[in-house]
Amino acid sequence: MSGNPSHRPALLPAMAALFLLCAPPASATAPPRDRPSACALPGTTGWTDEGHDTDHSVFKRPSGPVRVAMVFVDFPDAPATESPAEVAAGVTPGADWMRKASYGKAWPAITEHRRWVRMPHASTDYGFARGLSHETHEAYVKDAVTAADPHVDFARYDMVYVVPTRNATAISFSPTYIHEPGTPGVVADGHRLKWAVTFGQDIRRWGPRIVGHETAHTFGLPDLYAFDAGDDAHRFTGGWDVMGLIGGAAPQYFAWQSWKLGWTEDRQVVCRATRGGDTVRLTAVEHGGGVKMAVVRTGPTTAYVVESRRAAGTDARACATGALVYKVDSSVPTGKGPIRVMDARPGTTPPSGCRPLDDAPYRAGESFVDAAAGVRVDVLRSDVLGDTVRVTKS
pLDDT single digits (tens) 231-267: 899 999 999 999 999 999 999 999 999 999 999 999 9
Partnered with residue 71 across adjacent β-strands are 113, 162
Verify that 78 and 170 share a domain, yes or no: yes
Q: At 84, which amino acid appears?
A: P
Partnered with residue 390 across adjacent β-strands are 279, 378
In tens, the pLDDT along 261-315 reads 999 999 999 999 999 999 999 999 999 899 999 999 999 999 999 999 999 999 9
Verify that 180 and 274 share a domain, yes or no: no
Domain CATH number, residue 145: 3.40.390
Task: Give the pLDDT of residue 296.
Answer: 98
pTM: 0.90
Q: In which order are the strands placed within the sheet that holds 106-118?
A: 106-118, 64-74, 159-164, 195-198, 176-178
Among residues 220, 376, 224, 221, the alpha carbon closest in space to that of 298 is found at: 376
Task: Give the pLDDT of residue 30.
Answer: 57
Q: How far is the first Cα of the chain from the last one, in angstroms, to the nearest whole number?
A: 46
Buried b (16+ CB within 10 A) or exposed e, 272-311: bbeeebbebbbbbbbebeebbbbbbbbeebbbbbbbbbbe
Confidence of residue 131 (pLDDT cuts 50, 70, 90): confident
In tens, the pLDDT along 223-233 reads 999 999 888 99
For residue 108, with 0-12 CB atoms within 10 Å meaning exposed, 13-18 middle and 19 or more buried, which class applies? buried
Task: Give the pLDDT of residue 130.
Answer: 77
Task: Give the pLDDT of residue 229.
Answer: 87
**19 assigned to some structural domain:** no
Evaluate whether 315 touches 251 at the Cβ level (below 8 Å).
yes
In tens, the pLDDT along 166-179 reads 999 999 999 999 99
Given a cut of 80, whether residue 16 has pLDDT beyond it is no
Task: Give the pLDDT of residue 31.
Answer: 64
Distances (CA, A) of 259 to 40, 86, 115, 293, 326: 9, 36, 39, 9, 15
Q: Distance between CA 129 and CA 224 in Å, rounded? A: 19
Query: In a 3-state reduction of DSSP, which class is residue 308?
Result: strand
Count CA atoms closer than 13 A to 226's CA, side-chain side: 12
Among residues 250, 134, 256, the alpha carbon closest in space to that of 186 is found at: 134
Among the three residues 218, 251, 285, which one is the final residue of a domain in this structure?
A: 218
Residue 322: left (phi > 0), alpha (psi -120 to 50), or beta?
Answer: left
Domain that holds residue 177: 64-218
Averaged pLDDT score across all residues of the chain: 92
Verify that 254 and 365 share a domain, yes or no: yes
Verify that 306 and 207 share a domain, yes or no: no
Verify that 49 and 94 share a domain, yes or no: no
**96 assigned to some structural domain:** yes
Verify that 175 and 308 share a domain, yes or no: no
Verify that 40 and 83 share a domain, yes or no: no
% of the chain exceeding 90 in pLDDT? 88
**29 assigned to some structural domain:** no
Verify that 130 and 163 share a domain, yes or no: yes
Task: Give the pLDDT of residue 19.
Answer: 35
